[in-house]
Chains A and B, each alone.
Chain A
Amino acid sequence: MGRESMEYDVVIIGGGPSGLSTAIKLKQLDSNLNVCLLEKASEIGAHILSGNVFETRALDELLPNWRELNSPIKTKVSKEKFLFLGKTKSLSWPTWLLPKVQQNHNNYIISLANLCRWLAEQAEALGVEIFPGFPASEILYNQDGSVKGVATQDMGIDKEGNKKDSFEPGIELLGKVTVFAEGCRGHLGKQLIEKFNLSKDTDPQQYGIGFKEIWEIEDKNHEEGMVMHTAGWPLDNNTYGGSFMYHAENKQVFLGYVIGLDYKNPHLSPYDEFQRFKTHPAIRKIIERGKRISYGARALIEGGLQSLPQMFMPGALLVGCDAGTLNMPKIKGSHTAMKSGMIAAETIIENIRENKNLSIYEEKFKKSWIYEELHAARNVKPSFSWGLILGIIFTGIDQILFKGKLPFTLKHKHADHETLKFANEMPKINYPKYDNIITFDKTSSVYLTGTNHADNQPVHLKLKDPNLPTNYTLDKFDEPAQRYCPAGVYEIQKENDINKFVINSQNCIHCKTCDIKEPSQNITWVTPEGSGGPKYGNM
């Protein structure tokens, strides 16, 4: 092959909060370590999307002087609201009656993308080598089966797999330890979980799809520091989800919606539920005269402790949501992702210096406050499989009365790709037409993401069976990819009465929902050419 290789002490895959925290902590503990970090986006932050109400606990430990380092953490939460939405009415729930995990008064409204850009500056100042635009596409193994490192994607390959004039071969990055920090449903993390059987003792992982739009709104509707969440309409009692609206600086609101990917009706379109949600009077009145300036979507982990795989294996660690450290009832994963990276760094130092086994990661994890948090949170998400109302009642008992200490653990029974019922058994949903004022079609939304993939490259959404969509999935499930994809990548087109499954992979915003929800697991997301995908600003 003639691929070049480069050796490091530690190779980190992914420039999100967990990967960057791993890198910073490593260099703080030993400035002589050679650490490199790969990121598939064109720059750090360009593939980061999150609410985000940020709890500073992990950052306080990692960079105690962050307030003096011109960090982008500025807007303290000043007011909180929780609304139950009916179709036209809304009921405000007193915040003192919310479980403690859902109270935010010490937290900040931030752009996680900007936080990551700032963390990357801190990491580079410590000597971490950061390479944006280089997706890790392949895991490399030693002869004894342990992880040796990764290879980056070849660049300049055409649709048919031939080398173009601009061909640039990938290179091998070898580490004493490789840290996988790709975020939810990382495509290498997924391979590692399978190869090393890391999920053998856990429940199936649970996911959600999260949407976010940034709106610039009228001054009179803007209350900087205000955090609002809603549950209820437009989702029915059996679909798990809710919204967030965070009033950030510069007259902006971060408006978003999260829907559990364990939904059952193949006719449901998460994108359209989000668009419809914005038409509720309680929401419309805030954004109506504003302007939408950003859009994006990303899958997130909801499984919690029951679904958390073993996070160590020979030669490698999983951190953050590549494993699944998000705290669902808290609706936060950044602080736990960061902490998991910091613990990984401590583990690696002991592994390299004292030759301790990487399995000490688990012991350290169990002794840390992440475990405590995730343990207390563990029963909330599964209780919502009984529906919204019973879920809320149970969560009240579990979180307010027992503070997460009930002496049993509810299970996640199904993987998300198993939950869809057949299309003919479920009601069709008529979504309202987009008004181009507060609701928009997918095309104009994707346009705002700045998404681009170099022309004439191989399709990075691989079908195990290319005929399955038209031979089976269309008939049984009305091909739900047309609806669960938030970027309009998948279409059924009729040509001379023959159905064709079209993949517009250049629109892909790297959310990974198809890889998760496709009922036969027929779609595999792999890395496209470097720098491809969205170019998110302050998401």
Chain B
Amino acid sequence: MKILVAVKRVIDYNVQVRVKDDGSGVVTENVKMSTNPPDDNAIEEAVKIKESGKAKEIVAITVGEEKAQETVRKALAVGADRGIHVKVGGAIEPLAVSKILKKIVDKEKPDLVFMGKQAIDDDCNQTGQMLSALLNWPQATFASKIEIKDRKLEVIREIDEGLETIEINTPAIVTCDLRLNEPRYASLPNIMKAKKKPIEQLNASDLGVDVSPKIQQLKVEEPPKRKAGIKVSSVAELVQKLKNEAKVI
């Protein structure tokens, strides 16, 4: 079995994101970038499956600017066998990414495609679903447990009402939740070995995919600042304020 894992380079989750003065986006200069956290879970799960003997090869893929290659390199350091980097300058939308992934799937013919349930930068939560539609493959989203059963997958999904267990046929797309596993650390010797693993570089245009944006972004703004709270001296005062000022009771 062969698993394709898609990873994305995003602003590190510890960084306080700042909106640009002109409202055209967020500041990415001088900001620490990392792999999108649930993508780490996707890689980890693929590596676990390979370690259990159920998969032969893991291919990590990213779509993005030159430095996005670092996320593929990291995936190689924790156990992916080889990498693909599709170079795209600037912002790219989920539909374009899923079209690129479809081209790669056509070529690589994996049995499973894993990725994070959503990216923490745009929070779109669309790429996996769109890829599933483009390929006409089954999908299991928000996976918190994956069990491989012959030509089928049993997946537990994190949904609003609780947990849902579904069974789907392979080949399939699985988008991974943070609860799926605990990603391992890349060990120093494995980081060294990863430097020697191959990363194939392609341009989106080589694949014949139109990556021009289909959505016009009007403005990016910070959420309004929360007003400071006040202290009240008695329950009576609280009730009075809730009634007359906040008008909630």
Contact = CB atoms under 8 A, between A and B. Distances in A.
Interface of A: 4, 6, 42-43, 46, 111, 114, 129, 131, 134, 152, 155-156, 164-166, 168, 171, 216, 293, 447-448, 450-452, 530, 535, 537-538
Contacts of B182: 164-166
B244 interface: no
B32 A42 contact: yes
A450 B185 contact: no
B32 A450 contact: yes
A168 B29 CA distance: 33
B188 A171 contact: yes
Nearest to B31: A537
A111 B31 CA distance: 13
Interface stretch (B8-16, B135-143, B205-213): B8-16
A293 B32 contact: no
Given A42-B32, A46-B32, A111-B30, A450 B12 contact: yes
A448 B189 contact: no
Interface of B: 12, 14-16, 18, 21, 29-32, 34, 182-185, 187-189, 191-192
Nearest to A447: B16
Given A46-B32, A168-B185, A537-B32, 15 more contacts: A4-B189, A6-B188, A42-B32, A111-B30, A131-B188, A165-B182, A216-B21, A450-B12, A450-B15, A450-B32, A530-B185, A535-B14, A537-B15, A537-B30, A538-B30
Contacts of A114: 30
Given A166-B184, A450-B12, A6 B189 contact: yes
A486 B182 CA distance: 32
Given A450-B16, A535-B14, A535-B15, A134 B30 contact: no
A20 to B, nearest CB: 18
A448 B16 CA distance: 6
Nearest to B21: A216
A288 to B, nearest CB: 17
A241 B121 CA distance: 41
11 contacts: A42-B32, A111-B30, A166-B182, A166-B184, A168-B184, A171-B188, A450-B16, A451-B14, A535-B12, A535-B15, A538-B29
Given A537-B32, A538-B30, A293 B188 contact: no
B188 A134 contact: yes
A127 to B, nearest CB: 11
- Chain B interface mostly: loop
Contacts of B29: 538
Residue from B16, B21, B183 whose CB has the most chain A CB atoms within 10 Å: B16
A448 B15 CA distance: 7
Contacts of B191: 131
A535 B32 contact: yes
B185 A156 contact: yes
Contacts, number: 51
Contact of A171 (B21, B31, B32, B187): B187
A408 B182 CA distance: 62
A171 B190 CA distance: 12
Residue from B31, B34, B188 whose CB has the most chain A CB atoms within 10 Å: B188
B147 to A, nearest CB: 18
Contacts of A447: 16
Contacts of B188: 6, 131, 134, 152, 171
Contacts of B14: 450-452, 535
Nearest to B225: A436
B30 A168 contact: no
A530 to B, nearest CB: 7
Contacts of B185: 155-156, 166, 168, 530
Contacts of A168: 184-185, 187
A111 B29 CA distance: 13
A535 B187 CA distance: 21
A439 to B, nearest CB: 15
Contacts of A164: 182
Nearest to B27: A293
Nearest to A170: B188
A474 to B, nearest CB: 28
A5 to B, nearest CB: 10
7 smallest beta-carbon distances between A and B, as pairs? A537-B30, A538-B30, A450-B14, A535-B32, A452-B14, A168-B185, A155-B185
B189 A171 contact: yes
A538 B30 CA distance: 5
Nearest to B33: A43
A448 B18 CA distance: 11
A46 B18 CA distance: 18
A43 B32 CA distance: 8
A217 to B, nearest CB: 12
B79 to A, nearest CB: 13
A451 B18 CA distance: 16
A170 B29 CA distance: 33
A4 B32 CA distance: 30
B165 to A, nearest CB: 23
A131 B182 CA distance: 22
Contacts of B15: 450, 535, 537
Contacts of A166: 182-185
A12 B22 CA distance: 43
A249 to B, nearest CB: 11
A448 B31 CA distance: 12
B30 to A, nearest CB: 4
Contacts of A46: 32
Contacts of A450: 12, 14-16, 32
Nearest to A154: B185
A326 to B, nearest CB: 25
Contacts of A537: 15, 30-32
A260 B120 CA distance: 42
A450 B14 CA distance: 5
Contacts of B12: 42, 450, 535
Nearest to A252: B30
Contacts of B184: 166, 168
Contacts of B30: 111, 114, 537-538
Nearest to A171: B188
Contacts of A155: 185
A385 to B, nearest CB: 39
Contacts of B183: 166
Contacts of A131: 188, 191
A123 B200 CA distance: 25
A216 B22 CA distance: 14
A450 B183 CA distance: 21
